[in-house]
Structure 1
Amino acid sequence: MVLGENSGEVSVSVEDSGCGIGPEDIEGVFGKFRGIAQKGFGIGLYLVKHFVESHRGRVYCQSELGKGTRFTIVLKKGVSHLPADAVPVRDGASPADHGLLGELVDGAEAGEKEEVAIVLTEDGKTADEVITGKKSLLLIDDEEEIGRYLDHLFRDRYLLYRASNGEDGWKLAQQVMPDLVISDVRMQGMDGVELCNKIKRSEALGHIPVILLTGETATEARLRGIEGGADDYITKPFDKDLLRAKVETVLRNRDQLRRFFFDSITLKETAIKVPAEYQEFLRRCIEVVEGNLDTEEFTTRKFAQAMGISRSGLYQKVKSISGQSLNAFIRSIRLRRAAVLMLKDNMNVNQAAFQVGIGDARYFREQFVKLFGMTPSEYIKKYRPAFNGELNIIKG
């Protein structure tokens, strides 16, 4: 750790001597990742950035592949730069006198093991709006009464965002990347069908499911919604239990997609049925990564080029299917290939690791255990006798 100071600022730098971060990935290390109930998705760096910027500071990353990474936090001295309603901790005050620290202390004294709900007042957001296991819904309706009703239906179970027209809904969808969109069809300007069509054509947003609401009952109107790419279509006045059930079903289907990915990547037989387009996308991803196992510096940018899609578009689609970042996704496929080599070609652990481009045997074992739930040696002992050269035959 390195501490620095000048007349107006203080800085703290921490660095390691690890593998480093590629220049194409540095811009995303502070990003807000979904699926945080999973492990290893980098939510810590997002929170660092959030808190530092809330205090009008800055944080940045410097890295070089093969040499290591440095993170630096810079904060201004004093309190004059803080918002007028910010309350600094007074000299001699106990932690409980400060809202944020007080809640942490209360939780620690109570011996709580769960996350403490921290209120973040600087931008009016609660902790659940910064980090939460809840799925997020974007509600779009130009009728205030309907908007409030939808808010009432879903506020307890989901993280909600609201927009009052299609244009604002489109902008907000790009900003918050919701897990599902519920939109009225008849709105001034961009209507719900146009919005749905625009979302579905977007590389970055195309994976987001959309449910359309309408007062029209004609078959043509419903057909127009479905042709626009809507995942479901509900006629007003709608039954609240039906709408809730449809939302839960659509989101559950997304979770099944991730289960299908996991079963496929860990070579387990799966009875889960997913659309052919996702099966083909996963097959193509595996094909591209396995075709570049010997390629030095196979970056996420090169991965995107080989898939014929923009890097941001590939990131969003991979994230929606697997819950993983691109680098973690590539690593999973490498480990999958190593598992096949150990079973099919009778390679030992070190040979398989080297063959898939992972030179550090210890790192290979650690990541293998995370993915398969057992060491490579245990995996070989358990499955090699039964393996017949085909994928998706191992019974979990």
Structure 2
Amino acid sequence: MNPHHLYLASFSQDILFLSGGPVYIGTILSLFGLSALLFSIIERIKNNRMLQQEKQFLSDVFAKIIHEFRASLTVILGLSKQLREQKNLSEGNLATYLNAIERQGSNLTKLVNQLLDIASLQTSDKVVEWKTGNIVAFVEMMSETFRIYARQKGVELYFFSDDTEVEIDFVPDYLNKILYNLLSNAVKYSDEGSRINLIMERDQKERQKMTIKVMDQGRGISEEALPHIFDLFYKDPHNDAEAYTGNGIGLAIVKQVTEGLGGTIRVESEVGKGTVFTVELPFRRNEKQLYPRWIPEKSVPHPVPRAPLLPKANEVAPPGSGGNDPRITILLVEDNKDIFLYIRSIFHEEQYNILYAPNGEKAWDMVNKQLPDIVITDVIMPKKSGLELCREMKASPLLNHIPIVIVSAKNEEADLIEGLRSGADCYIRKPFYPEELQIRVENLLGIRLLLKEKYGRTVLKEEKENLDDNMNTDFLRRVTDIIYREMKNPDFTAGKLAAELAISVSQLNKRLNTITGYPSSTYILQVKLRHAKKIFTSQNKTIGEVSTECGIYDVNYFSRIFKKHTGVTPTQFKRLPQI
């Protein structure tokens, strides 16, 4: 027999008698086949999962880009319309509107440029323009340029370097982007009177590394945000919207550019103390390939950002006229001050008192203290979102009667449903027509006015109307029950009623006025007089006895207020025919 055949026979026999027992070849092949199939399925699941994650990432990025564009377009289109239609616009308002349009136009330009940078960095065939020159001079030139910008904010910028000249190969455009974004952020988040240090040094242990540090004494970055600070479109949720004007692209560009140069970047920060960004770049000097020389005089630095023309305090939140303001009070919650200016321009100052909150957390504090007639809120805001604000307001017995309008750049149907489910009375998408917002607000306030009249007629004038079971009815019943319980107590006041409800007198007044049209003291008196009329019609008691039953021991005072509110004296009321 052929030796090869003998080997095959031996091999077949080994397979047939593994572990001392017969094993069928078909079973083994089936197991191999199932294993291969299972492996294929697992790989396909992994690939599908990766594709879904990539698709979700791209979808999120696209949604954030659209949000940024819609926010700016809302201001530009809206204020342009106001400028065209408002004939008697003051010089001050004209300048305010034009400044807002210019700011948002600049924001769009910056956003487009940054997106082009991101796209350019992703392109594999991009030509990188290397230069050879003194990198210390380049960095110092950037610091000199930014020093002007920093001083506009009252911040001092200092540059330190152990060496005055270091000849190296570098990419001026990339280094520009790194320094521009890090220094502009440092200035943006630094308070007046603080300092920024730009430090450049060569690694003492590894002479083949260059280190650039940007150290500020600003607000700092929260521990929660640090792992995500270089993610595209990430914004620290704990940042104050009044100071934050970025879009979450700059640091993503810095990371990509740094890594494109073969370097690394890291960040250390402590809230309230400041932040340190450390960029480490390899020391490159290619002796075999000569690059064009970088010459400072012929190089144009990256344009320095001007100190932003933010609205003045009186432009954003003009002083109100106090708690007795007869105008309708609107609380506008919006982290973009230019959108606030635009929405404020829609509502006439003679009719509306506009309050401003830059985020949901501040709005929650204000809405509890001020009890506005209506709230207009954005969705995406730092510290507390508009949806969280809606849910908390609707869960509060004190605030659940206040109508809420959401105005947001989140335009999907799912966003609208989520907004309405959170408790909003209506959801308006940006950009929007000013007439739409105005009509929505007027309609919601009109409905509240009708309800107020209905509550007043039903509770105080004893009309046989059935009130719907809702939170306003529950609150009113609770208040009325407490008043009836304390009916004979002459010392019962609005203060004691508020204390029993665990709210302040001003909050009680505002809530009762919203529901019935009466402040608390007047409502207490109305309930007492209603009780007096019931006694007069159902029992044969003297005026003094009825007065005592109502907790009023001065009969003359009781007679005066009874006539003032009913039009007749107690004696005349008793003589009226009862129907």
TM-score, length of structure 1 as denominator length? 0.57
Alignment of 1:317-396 (within 5 A): 317-382=511-576, 384-386=577-579
Deviations 1:259-306 (CA, angstroms, capped at 9, x unpaired): 233213432427696553333433343333223323464455664676
Structure 2 vs 1, CA of residues 132 and 192 (structure 1 numbering), >3 Å: closer, same or farther? Answer: same
Structure 2 CA distance for aligned equivalents of residues 207 and 179 of structure 1 = 9
Q: Is the 8 Å Cα contact of residues 257 and 274 (structure 1) preserved in structure 2? A: no
1:148 aligns with 2:341: yes
Any stretches of 5+ residues in structure 2 without a counterpart? 1-313
Amino acid at match of 1:145: D
Structure 2 vs 1, CA of residues 364 and 266 (structure 1 numbering), >3 Å: closer, same or farther? Answer: same
Amino acid at match of 1:166: G
Structure 2 vs 1, CA of residues 177 and 293 (structure 1 numbering), >3 Å: closer, same or farther? Answer: closer
1:179 aligns with 2:369: no
Structure 2 vs 1, CA of residues 203 and 349 (structure 1 numbering), >3 Å: closer, same or farther? Answer: same
Deviations 1:190-237 (CA, angstroms, capped at 9, x unpaired): 111112222333454443321111233434322322232222222233
Structure 1 CA distance for aligned equivalents of residues 480 and 361 of structure 2 = 37
Structure 1 CA distance for aligned equivalents of residues 320 and 404 of structure 2 = 26
Q: Between Structure 1 and Structure 2, how many residues are aligned?
A: 261
Q: 2:502 aligns with which of 310, 326, 339?
A: 310
- The percent identity for this pair of structures is 28
Any stretches of 5+ residues in structure 1 without a counterpart? 1-120, 387-396
Q: Is the 8 Å Cα contact of residues 375 and 403 (structure 2) preserved in structure 1? A: yes
Structure 1 CA distance for aligned equivalents of residues 347 and 444 of structure 2 = 15
**Structure with the greater alpha carbon radius of gyration:** 2
Q: Is the 8 Å Cα contact of residues 266 and 372 (structure 1) preserved in structure 2? A: no
Structure 2 CA distance for aligned equivalents of residues 158 and 302 of structure 1 = 32
Structure 2 vs 1, CA of residues 154 and 273 (structure 1 numbering), >3 Å: closer, same or farther? Answer: farther
Structure 2 vs 1, CA of residues 379 and 261 (structure 1 numbering), >3 Å: closer, same or farther? Answer: farther
The secondary structure found in structure 1 opposite 2:393 is helix
Structure 2 CA distance for aligned equivalents of residues 276 and 371 of structure 1 = 29
Moved more, 295-304 or 236-245: 295-304
Paired position in structure 2 for 1:220: 414
1:293 aligns with 2:449: no
Structure 1 CA distance for aligned equivalents of residues 515 and 485 of structure 2 = 21
Q: Is the 8 Å Cα contact of residues 360 and 381 (structure 2) preserved in structure 1? A: yes
Structure 2 CA distance for aligned equivalents of residues 342 and 304 of structure 1 = 29
Higher helix proportion (structure 1 or 2): 2
Q: Is the 8 Å Cα contact of residues 263 and 269 (structure 1) preserved in structure 2? A: yes
Alignment of 1:1-396 (within 5 A): 128=321, 131-156=324-349, 157-269=351-463, 276-295=470-489, 297-298=491-492, 300=494, 303=497, 309-312=501-504, 316-382=510-576, 384-386=577-579
Amino acid at match of 1:310: A
The secondary structure found in structure 1 opposite 2:375 is strand
Deviation at 1:139, TM superposition (A): 1.2
TM-score, length of structure 2 as denominator length? 0.40
RMSD of equivalent CA atoms: 3.2
Deviations 1:87-137 (CA, angstroms, capped at 9, x unpaired): xxxxxxxxxxxxxxxxxxxxxxxxxxxxxxxxxx9xx97785675321111
Amino acid at match of 1:228: S
Q: Is the 8 Å Cα contact of residues 458 and 465 (structure 2) preserved in structure 1? A: no
Deviation at 1:336, TM superposition (A): 0.9
Structure 2 vs 1, CA of residues 358 and 249 (structure 1 numbering), >3 Å: closer, same or farther? Answer: same
The secondary structure found in structure 1 opposite 2:432 is coil
Deviation at 1:245, TM superposition (A): 1.7
